[in-house]
Amino acid sequence: MWTVECMLRYTNRSILGVMENQPTNHNYYDKNVTGSVNQFNDALESLMRNLTRTAASGDSRSKYATASAKAPNFQTIYAQAQCTPDISSEDCTKCLEEAISIIPECCSGKAGGNVVKPSCRIRFDPYIFYGPTLKLDPDAPPTTPLQSPSTNNTSSQGKSNTSRTIIAIVVPVGSVVLVLSLFCIYLRLWKPRKKIEIKREEDKDEDEITFAESLQFNFDTIRVATNEFDDCNKLGQGSFGAVYKGQLSNGQVIAVKRLSRDSGQGDMEFENEVLLVAKLQHRNLVRLLGFSLEGRERLLVYEFVQIKALITSYLVWRNWREGTATNIVDPTLNDGSRNEIMRCIHIGLLCVQENDAGRPTMTSVVLMLNSYSLTLPVPSEPAFVVDSRTRSLPSSELTEHNSSQTRSSESTQNSVNEASITELYPR
């Protein structure tokens, strides 16, 4: 009889030290493997082989092993292997290998499974189902039997030997009782905390898997969207690969970076990097929509952003200096006065000049906004702008997405804040 935690077996013949493979019982977890089944099976087989060696190397007190391994699509396999401790290491290995060979027949494509035999059992699941493994101390050397007191000893020697015997018995027994009491207290306090940690880890793994699956695009979908990666859709070529423009079936325009195949980055490292970048959200960053992983093909799918929008986000000062400040005006502001819009931009640049002595006070700003007859001074370069003295586009990454030309950047050291104090109120 088998249960999740234990096995009960009885018979009218001797079973100790005898390895038996039959009868065999097996079942599987109803959740299917996500991603490549072959890669999952390879990771599972390697994990089970390692557990077989560990369990079979145990002594006559315990032949038991647990471990976990990473599988594709951010899955974790938790596995257990165990033999009855009365059989030999060779028989334990044979029994576990026989159980492992049944997995493709009973549990192919499943995220969990269980195979039990009279002399051994194996189990694997996508969540932790086993507790901590207690390490047993090596066998203690046999104790030397106490010498019986000689009949010629005096009565005082007999009392002394009796006292030593009592001490020799009481001290070890008391120590064992104390250790067991402390161990029980530890388990009582540790188990609830461990369950909470396991639950959090399971929820985190589930969230990571769900998030990763939501980002993954089908390779054929991207191939159709870019018209088989047609050169007519090619936006540019960078050191990490080419960038193509595409359109999904729902009409969304995308930019697809096709990474070079000799990048040397593994699948797991690539997927971890995608997850990290996808969680970064900023209005000045091109948003990563997802990825595709097919054989040696690694694709990154970004939202398509016109180069004009990127220029207006980063190079306000450059446009003002070159007389093209209208490029930074939102098209939805067509109803407003063009001169009034340019005046507001002019005042804004005056307020962020590098030299704080040249910045207007709040009173001056109010006067500038209300009096169009007042002539505004020429603004100087802003202070707190990332790479404010850049002479060209700031990033080859932006060029790879939206331009067929790669521009280089020449930057000098950023401006230094020369203000002596921080003023918490307007001047």
Same domain, 224 and 197: no
- Strand order, beta sheet including 25-28: 25-28, 113-116, 120-125, 75-83, 63-71
Tell me if 142 is assigned to some domain. no
Is 377 inside a domain boundary?
A: yes
Distance CA 234, CA 242 (A): 7
Q: Which of 120, 58, 112, 66 is nearest to 89 (CA)?
A: 58
Distance in angstroms (rounded) separating the CA atoms of residues 187 and 375: 80
Is 140 part of any domain? Answer: no
Helices 362-370 and 338-351: crossing angle in degrees, nearest 10, is: 170
Q: What angle do CA 39, 41, 46 make, to 5 degrees?
A: 100
Q: Which residue has the tokens 């959090």?
A: 200
Q: Which two tokens stand for residue 337?
A: 């006065």
Give the CATH number for residue 79.
Answer: 3.30.430.20
Classify residue 169: in a domain, yes or no: no
**Residues of the chain predicted below pLDDT 50:** 140-151, 284, 308-314, 384-414, 417-427
pTM higher than 0.75 for the full model?
A: no
Same-domain check for residues 371 and 324: yes
Which residue's entry shows tokens 């930057």?
A: 411
Question: Chain-centre distance of CA 416, in angstroms?
Answer: 38
Question: Does 376 share its domain with 398?
Answer: yes
Cα–Cα dist 333/345, whole Å:
13
pLDDT at 426: 47
Q: Give the length of the chain.
A: 427
- From 303, 324, 344, give the residue that closes a domain: 303
Q: Are residues 245 and 205 in the same domain?
A: no
The residue from 196, 215, 234 where one domain ends is: 215
The pLDDT value given to residue 68: 87
**Burial class, 305, CB count within 10 angstroms (exposed 0-12 / middle 13-18 / buried 19+):** middle
Within a 10 A sphere around the Cβ of 161, how many other Cβ atoms?
A: 16
User: Does residue 150 belong to any structural domain of this protein?
Assistant: no
Q: Is residue 410 part of a domain?
A: no
The pLDDT value recorded for residue 265 is 60
Q: Are residue 197 and residue 241 in the same domain, yes or no?
A: no
Binding site listing for ATP: 257
Question: Same domain for 49 and 118?
Answer: yes
Q: In one letter, which amino acid is 77?
A: I
Burial environment of residue 16 by CB neighbours within 10 A (0 to 12, 13 to 18, 19 or more): exposed
3-state SS assignment for residue 57: coil
C-alpha span between 112 and 31 (Å, rounded): 7
Q: Both 203 and 231 in a single domain?
A: no
Residue 165 lies in a domain: no
Contacts of 307 (CB under 8 A, 6+ apart): 398, 402, 403
The dihedral sign for the CA sequence 297, 302, 306, 310 = negative
Domain count, the chain: 4
Helices (H), 216-302: 219-225, 267-278
In which domain, by residue range, is 189 found? 174-215
Residue 313 and residue 298 share a domain: no
Any domain includes 143: no
Q: Residues annotated as binding site? A: 257
Angular region, 196: left φ>0, alpha ψ -120 to 50, beta rest: alpha
Residues 21, 381: Cα–Cα separation, whole Å: 82
> Which of 145, 295, 134, 168 minimizes the C-alpha distance to 223?
295
Residue finishing a domain among 288, 303, 318? 303
CA–CA separation, 175 vs 148, rounded Å?
25
- Give CA torsion, residues 85, 136, 186, 5, to 10 deg: -10
φ/ψ of residue 162, rounded to 5: -65, -40
Same domain, 335 and 272: no
Domain containing 266 — which CATH number?
Answer: 3.30.200.20
For residues 237 and 314, membership in a common domain is answered with no
**Do residue 290 and residue 366 come from a single domain?**
no
Asked if residue 268 and residue 186 are part of one domain, the reply reads no
| Cβ-contact 290, 299 below 8 angstroms | no
Compute CA 367 distance to the chain's CA centroid, rounded to the nearest angstrom. 55
pLDDT tens per residue across span 139-195:
544 444 444 444 455 555 555 667 777 887 888 888 888 898 888 888 777 766 655
User: Which pLDDT value is given to residue 274?
Assistant: 74
